[in-house]
Amino acid sequence: MTLSFAFDLLLALALLWSAWRSLATPDLTRAVVMFIVFGLLLALAWARLSATDIALAEAAIGAGLTGALLLDALGAWRRAAKDDES
Partner 1 sequence: MTSGLVFALAGVLLFVLGLGGVVMLSHALRRILAFNLMGSGAFLVLVGLAQRDGGVDPVPQAMVLTGIVVAVAATALALALVRRLHGAHRDD
Partner 2 sequence: MKSALRLAVVLLALVLAGTLMAAILELPGANQSLPAAVAAHMAVSGVEHPVTAVLLNFRGYDTLLEVAVLLLALLGIGAAVHAGSETEDGGAEGDPVLAALARLLTPLLILAAGYLLWAGAHRPGGAFQAAAVLAGAAVLLHLSGQMPAWSSPGLLLRLGLAGGLLIFLALAAGLLGQGALLRYPPEYAGALILLIEASLTISLGLILAGLFLMLAGRRGGA
Using rule CB under 8 A, residue 69 touches partner 1: yes
Q: What is the CA radius of gyration of the chain?
A: 16
Binder of residue 68, out of partner 2, partner 1, none (CB less than 5 to 8 A by kind): partner 2
Query: CB of residue 75 vs partner 2: minimum separation in angstroms?
Result: 8
Q: Are 67 and 35 in contact (CB under 8 A)?
A: yes
For residue 1, what is the DSSP state?
-
SS3 of 51-76: the string is: CHHHHHHHHHHHHHHHHHHHHHHHHH
Using rule CB under 8 A, residue 83 touches partner 2: yes
Residues 14-53 as x/- pattern, contact with partner 2 by CB under 8 A: --------------------------------------xx
